[in-house]
Structure 1
Amino acid sequence: MRLTMVRNFSSPFKNCFLVLESFREYTEVETLDGDNKYDAGKEHGLQPALKGVRFLSFPPILHLHLLRYQYDSHLNKNSKINNRFPFPDRLDLNEFMDASDSDSVPANYIYVLHSVLVHIGRGSGGHYVAYINNQPMALVQGKTSKWYKFDDSTVSKSDAKTAVEGNFGEENSESSANAYMLAYIREDKIDEICCKISSDEIPQALKERLEFEKAEERKKWNQTEISVLTEKDLVVNFDTGINGMNLIDEKENINSLGKQVKVKKDTELEVLAREIAAKIYGDKSKDTSKYRLWRFSNVSYKNPTNNNEIVPRMRPSVLIPRDLHGSNMTMNSMWNREHELYYLENAAIDEPGCSSDYNLVFFKFFDVNARQMRLVGSRFLNVAKKSPADLAEECIKMTGLPEGTELNFYEEIACNKVNHIDRARSLTYSISNPMDGIIIVFEISTERSTIVNAKTFCEMLSTTVNIEACDFDANVMGVGFSEDLEHPVQFRADLVRFSIFLFFKYIFQDCTLFEVAMKIANLIEYRAGFLLFFHNERHSKRPGDRFIKGQELINTKLHDFLDSKVNNVNYRVRETFTIFYTKLSIPLGEFSEFKTQNGYLTTIHFARNEKAFFLYRDNETIDDLLERCRENYPFSVDGSKRLRFVEMKQSKYGVIRVIKKSLLAKDVFDSCHTTFIRLEETPLDQIQIDSRHEFIISAIRFSIKNDDYFGAPFFIKFNKEEVFSMFADRMRLMLNVKKELFDSLQFSIISPTAYSDKVVRFDIHNQTARKDLINMIMDLGTTSPNKMPFLRVNFPTAGNSKGNSDEFRPAEPAIYIRN
């Protein structure tokens, strides 16, 4: 017998489904006899023996590590096991004690669950939390224990069901929360281990640290952070970001607009402006009249002639503390202060005071010649006593225009609502709603015209979008060429090659897509009737699979074509909308006579799948379509010059079968519900396949570096009767790699199952691999398409560095857990 100190116990998780089962497997007795006798040394030689493990003692605190990670030798990575593994809240380990030494065995080795350490996520990453039982003795007494969840700096109450049963794991789950370590306390040691600690037992350094953290927390809770704009901030933001409209962009996060200023919550509102000015300008003056603080609020405009038209607008319309009710108010009494925006006005240049007769007025100058709007400043004015002539004096001072310059005035009510102010009437009657945050726009009278003035400029801004027309080469196959066109359809290797040639502004409310097509055709010197427009993919600036046909081009309004993107347009930031089109070799009328099928095509060496659109008629066979596709397919120089369609799965498993040429195209395409088709040039060695001993196998390239597939899946021929080295040579030619790289590749056969993949690794340079391939071929005819085996080729460094986010991702690196 040999005594050993075991410092940790790891449960053999994969083959056991209970904690006690793991202990029984660990302590199982093995008989050593026959050829496996125990070597007892020179004196006794080989002897039959029993080999096993018995425990003499267990510690007061027992840590159990659940092995939820396993190494995948094929992928050279760890993967996580999420299978269900229940564990008890009370654990009796007495059966595993060595009873022969009675002195070392205490009365009971019964343990109570104290904490559960949990990993949430996959093998590639995730998050860690812990559940701790605050009253382990309650379990001994048959009472309900209290559980707490520790999630980073957050501690919250939990319950036994969530903490324990909720972390058993979930079978066949790729991502779940489950326990990876358990901590148990022996029942007879609970009072000793979980005893209360007196203040004297806490080290002084730790006490000081705790007091410091508490003080910092109190200081943090006594402060609040607000976003404050100055006049300079408004001018800069106006010139660079909001396209001449309003004062700010309401869609922006307010915290990104102004300066972030921390103020005490108990600051009185009477001195709040002075306190903020001290932090922004460093002004230590005690004079509270030098600055005024305004809060932005939503003062919606309601059209008096149309009650349904309500335009939201953000203006600095609440003067603090003048417009707030109550006395001796502090910052703490202001509702939602952390989610509001403030404007700090310099009051030194205006008439002092905070009278309710005065209004905050902002001034914009429209430069007619430059077609430019700019914010020039703000004033605190008694609007009721001011006339347009008084406004002219203020505007001339702010812009430095010559004295006596004649000006025209407008009120900007909202982004697309600008009213002319009559110089002969009082401002009280000219302004729609005298309030704080009024915006006055002015221009030089002698420079304006009925077409170019501040009013038409503002209206144009609110009804105009930028259109970016992009020509991309869609692979429209099966239409041939029109001899009278100078620019036939060309194939390009890129999936989408953008050719950004145009930025133009267009008033689109009543504009049709055909008018836009005419505009584009004129600029690119092409025929509008030969342009095919595509709907955009949702939430991206890429062309989708749907396009506009025939009469639809004339009837579709540009506004409807851009759809919801226009309804949510932010005119202030000069958003650009992208329209994708491609040049056809036949007119749209003839194009509309065909039916279309979305699919892919690929070229020699199967570098990648390219989007393609196949045009066919109901009575055509696959052979008829292939014949027409020959006219614009980019054949390789030394290829077979023969085309074929193959069926592919919308998953990681690649190509399924070659489509027979005699089938009707309509029947083939109608049956492609979960698969899609691809057009490709038939490899020379696959033109004729002898079904008696020749087969084609699906192969997919993978990158070990980022654990993702790349390139296009392809078929490779295998001949059972040829020398196996010929198959290796054929594979190297198909992959188009040098011998040095080919020798470093890893090959394996993947057989998909319901919940995981069966992996058979083999050496392609070894003749014994022939048997593995023959077994794979025998499975080809007996499995469904979703479970069809394929050949996986692992490259050491190649592949798409960004991966293919819309496709399957195999197992990823595990998190290494160190205790």
Structure 2
Amino acid sequence: MSANRNQNTTPARLNDQQQRSPPTAAEVENIIPAVPNYRDHGIIEEAQMTVSPQSDADMEDKENDVDMVEVRQIHNARARNTFSNADGQAPGLPSRQEEGVPDFTSNISTDDNATVPTGEFFPYTAEEALLLQRDNNSLKNSKSRVQPKQVKNGNFGERMETDHDPSKDTDEDEDRYKPEGSLTLKIDRFSEFARAGTPETQQRLSTPVYIRGLPWKILAIPRDAGRGPVDRRQSKALGFFLQCNGEANDTTWNCTASATLRILSQKEGCDSLLDPNNGYIKDDTVLLQVEVSADARMESIGTARSTLDILTLFFTNKLRKAVYMMPTEDDDPECSVAVAMQRVFYELQFSDTPVGTKKLTKSFGWDSVDSFLQHDVQELCRVLLDNLESKMKSTVVADTIPSLFKGKMKSYIKCKNVDFESSREEFYYDVQLNVKGKADIMESFRDYTEPEVLDGDNKYDAGEHGMQPAEKGVKFLSFPPVLHLQLMRFQYDPSLDANVKINDRFQFPLELKLNEFVDEHGVEDDYTYLLHAVLVHSGDFHGGHYVVFINTNLKGNTRWCKSYTNAYMLVYVKKSAVGDALAPVSEEDIPNHLKFRFENEKKKDVQRKKEKEEASYYCEIMLVTDEAMKVHNGFELFDPKALEGNLNSKLKVEKSMSIKDLYKFVANNVGYKENEFRLWNFSESADRNKRDFHHYQHETSRPRGLLRYESNELGNHHGFNSSDLLDNDHTLYLETRERVPLFPQVLQHERKVVEYKGPIFLNSDKDLASHLPEIAERLGLPVDTHLNLYAELRPESIVALKQMRALVRDERHLSEDGSIMVAEMADKVSPTCNASLYFKELYNSIEVEAHVNVDGLGTPSNSPAPPIKGKIGLDWPLNRVCKWVGKEIDCDPEKILLWKVSQHNEKPTVYLSENYTTYLAKDMLSLSSPNTYDPRAGKCYKLFYSKLPIKVVDLEHRNHVRLQALYDKFQITEIALFPEKGGNVQSLLDEAKKVFKFSPNGTKELRLVHVGIGANCMRVFQVFPKEQLISEIYMRYSTSILRVEECQKTSWNYQKVKCCSL
């Protein structure tokens, strides 16, 4: 069950009649479907469903939208709700014990007077596990409520109490972190509860029960039934909810659980809730009960088996301290294994939420695909420990990992009949033990150390002693303080030709003594070990359920919570090293820079989640003021990109806000009074989120509707849908006058800029000529200045306003919501300097990046030239573009080859070798249509070129040939040559001499050879004569590699060599 602070109640509603009398048969028929009438302790069942817990406010709004839940009589049935997590998925928690799999148990004493083993085990189920405890003190104080099973003949039988009396439990003794619990709510005076009062005054809450450290309560509320037929409007419903952590203020927590909600029958059978004869109500009292199973866990993305080992490393406290002490201040948090491990350990120690492992697995190279594979525990453990040990080198904790996990063994071969032995000592970090056919762990160790006899055809070669019968085996020289034992549950079965899981019974003790397996020459010590952790798998080779049991208090008293397990890994701690390896870890042991880093990450995550939650309730608006428009020089009134970069222009508002409240909100943020400005909605048809620019088409960025202050509710005004304003991100114009605006701009020819001076207001009943003095004054010009006026409709459409005597309302190029008007002083106009030419040049001017086409016709370069940035005109002919490129790279413009660019992916397609004087740049860039080009986007376009050794106009008379060139010191590279069509080998070699790099003391003579199909082949199969035609060679050897190389002084006269083909 995923429950957040504002998502803490999950309803299960049961139909009930408002009157206390039983329903009629017809009414019952409408509510209860025809099912068998079971009478043995009937339980009202809710159909299984998956729901997302909601806040109380949301629940109030949506109650009447939920259909009535079916009420049925099912014999011994349960109504199970599976509550979804934050992603909307329903995490069903599997059973704790796999059916059909043999039980496996610890091997302990069979004596009836045997003492209960020491230690305290906590189960952690679901796909991953997490010990949800604040610190070690809470671990020591918590006590499991699960009763141990009775020991019978070495196996655990029925559960029985050994050292814990539940009757003596008090509130202080209660385990607040238990994985499951039962809640009960007794509603007395139920008829009064269901009949009178409001839900706020009549709700009933049960006493909280703590599960996984969170308070859980039953919430009961009387409700009117939801939608239904007219004749059922008087019916009542019981709102039956499970509340989790309802009083918490923190919004970041969650808990995954499954819950069963029941109304307990107090008598056999049921027909209706309020009928005392049916057993659900007795003495005007109803009993509600909920069973909750909440498993704390560590979240991973598929590596469940391997990430459990992280928990065993976490509870090796000495290692945890060493991990905290690693120097990671300068590490990249995205790819550092050390930082990722520190983050996981820190969150495991302090977080109340499941701990994710995605960043950890990503840091050591498992991508999103690898993470869903079932990695081996040993694989993950070695990857982690290797990375951590490398990071700890040259630090104060450099020896921590070897001192904890490194043991020493000797591999030997000893001859039986002669005094000869070959041995090698090596270190190990874990031991792999066979399970198949072995009764217990001691038998597996004996099998591991049992020598193999080398005899017969398999005798050992003892050097000067010859072939000798011998024994081959391993002996342990020492065991580490923390011993990891890998139980080989998964092995290859030749008969099935598949990997299978071995479910053989295998016993392992709480106390393990390994002195008998230490060689006589090994380190003398007391190798007595205590069981620290058990990693369990329930399932088969293809998948299953992974659990880890960790003993967090080896020196304390133990109560068993699980006995039958299918272990695949065991962790033992040397008894004499418990105090050192498992010493408590406090907050003071964590460096301050780690606390600062991870707390900041947590704050950012909380803020990100909060913003995500608020996204559906808020929208962002951008305010455009006169000041923002005055600094803009170009088409339209402002640059949306520049506005988006200005944080002061962005405001977050509630979508439900009325227009009047919006005015108040804006006034408080911009410093105006509410009656000193008006808000206009700017409209654009562009989708700024489109990655493909060719779908980015502005209609205009103009005011489209006035937001009237008097409007208290959102609605339509002047053709403007105000709900559109607050449903998405929009732009508002902040206008400080009271009339419909016109936006005049003046064209300054001397500086080639257009300046905006502020809005003016036209009287629609007057002509344009009468407004000329007002326009001139607004533009800062004398009132008698003769002006030419233009209306900017679109970037490609600037229309002259010639009908000066026409009324404003009759001028079709002026909009009643506001238009952009451009004025120029008539006395400064000339054929080469006027508004039409200015806007044409502004429209055609684009930013470009000129790149060398690495796949072009020229010789490839090991270090391509950097791109050239600058401005060109779409109306430039291609030869002018070549001159611009040639000037930038210091190359003959006639040897610059241009490529046509795809409008879809901006990649070069075909080269343009003709009509450079007639084709334009817009043809090359595929920007010939207004549908593919909009200057307001401010986009930088790519163009591609190639440098040729010949002029572009000569390409039609030449062949393009790619060859290998062999230089001094056997360096091979690729060159491009352009011999004449119909030429021979000599003409090809003449072209090659222009680009070939001859050795200082070489012959300066070249030859063309055939070297087969290998790219780096040094062998020469054939030398082509100089008079042979190139066309013949390429017709015969089109799939082979040809190479040009310099002739050596000691070589024979290649002109007299007769060519022979192989």
The TM-score normalised by the length of structure 1 is 0.48
- Tell me the TM-score normalised to structure 2 length: 0.39
Higher share of residues assigned strand: 1
Larger Cα Rg: Structure 1 or Structure 2?
Answer: 2
